[in-house]
Amino acid sequence: MRKNENDFLRKAKQNKNDEFYTQLKDIKSELQYYGVHFKNKVVFCPCDDPITSNFYRYFATNFKRLGLKKLISSCYFYNDLDLFSDNLNVFKKGYYYEYSGKDNEKVFPTIEDVIYFDGDGDFRSNESIELLKKSDIVVTNPPFSLFRDFISTVTQYNKDFLVIGNINVITYKEIFPLIQSNTAWMGINMGRGISGFIVPEHYELYGTETKINENGERIISPNNCLWLTNLDNFKRHEDIELVNIYKNNEENYPTYDNYNGINVNKTKDIPLDYEGVIGVPITFLHKFNPSQFEIIGFRKGDDGKDLKVNGKTPYFRILVRNISLNKK
């Protein structure tokens, strides 16, 4: 991973609020592929101020078209409870809003319309969990620094989800088993397919690309994020087109020092005729079709250490096998 991508994730973890807000155009770009999943469903956006969130705006605007049953959106307020803080006696409560599409309800609420939590609105709080229990599908951009906790919470209650995260979340021990077991997968857009995040005025503009857009919003574009979901989409049923041949080209496919398999540096270079285990980069998962390949393992060789080729360790490798060869 490049240095500026490391910096992006590191600074996200350092910042207690993780205030990276998703642009409406990126939400539209991804959500267009999942319309069939939302009919008669309750959607919960647990990291989204219903007054300002683009996730709330998208679902409220498209409430009838999607056939939603209800939309719930809630937000968290960070409270600095340090003994030396000037705000020790000022506790900010989180709040939420529920919209059911009725004529007497406001589509876009103001601060007078929201319902306040007793607590700060953290997605892990009992109050937020009660809203989660009422929902069917969770859609949001969770705090990058709490992504593990977020997915663990959502999956604990067996909820469908579509969320944004840094591409390296697929290497987390809490996430990779979901992918390997085919209970979670990547969405349609990743990398430059997610154009950037809106950040507050006090945030330093850093990353691979930064700008101030036509609305005066400050945009950070790390180009290293993805959508993670358990909602089915067309892309995961498309075979990867393979054109390379292993036979008589073995010199192009070095074997691992500590595992019986070959290393491939780019997904497009996977040989179409190799029946054994292949180590591929993590970006392979964006094209992964579980009917074409099976995931064998991740990162480690037979000795329990990182995979090595000629004594060197390539960046995280996923071990896969082409199961479609056995069907021919």
> In this predicted model, what pLDDT tens digit does every residue of 129-167 receive, in sequence order?
999 999 999 999 999 899 999 999 999 999 999 999 999
221 plus 252 within the same structural domain: no
Q: 3-class SS at 210?
A: strand
The predicted structure's pLDDT at residue 1: 41
Q: Which residue has the tokens 């995931």?
A: 295
Residues 6+ apart with CB under 8 A from 4: 206, 207, 208, 222
Reported as half-sphere exposure (CB side, CA atoms, 13 A), residue 58 has a value of 22
Residues 181 and 323 in one domain: no
- 195 and 64 co-located in one domain: yes
Q: Say what the pTM is.
A: 0.89
Let me know: does 1 contact 168? Beta carbons within 8 Å. Answer: yes
Given this model, what pLDDT does residue 155 score? 97
Shared-domain flag, residues 175 and 281: no
Which residue, of 194, 218, 235, is where some domain finishes? Answer: 235
H or E segment to which residue 327 belongs: none
Q: 288 and 206 in one domain?
A: no
Q: In this structure, are 272 and 223 located in the same domain?
A: no
Structure tokens at 45: 């956006």
Same domain, 278 and 221: no
- Copy the structure tokens of residue 218: 């400050």
Average pLDDT of every residue of the chain? 90
Say whether both 194 and 248 belong to one domain: no
CA torsion sign for 302, 303, 307, 310 is negative
Tokens (6 digits) for 260: 């019986």
Strands 21-22 and 197-199: antiparallel
Output the pLDDT for position 328. Answer: 56
Q: What total of structural domains would you count in the chain?
A: 2
- For 295, the domain range is 238-327
Residue 188 has pLDDT above 90, yes or no: yes
Quick one: 313 and 173 in the same domain? no
User: In angstroms, what CA-CA distances link 38 with 25, 33, 63, 68, 183?
Assistant: 19, 11, 9, 6, 19
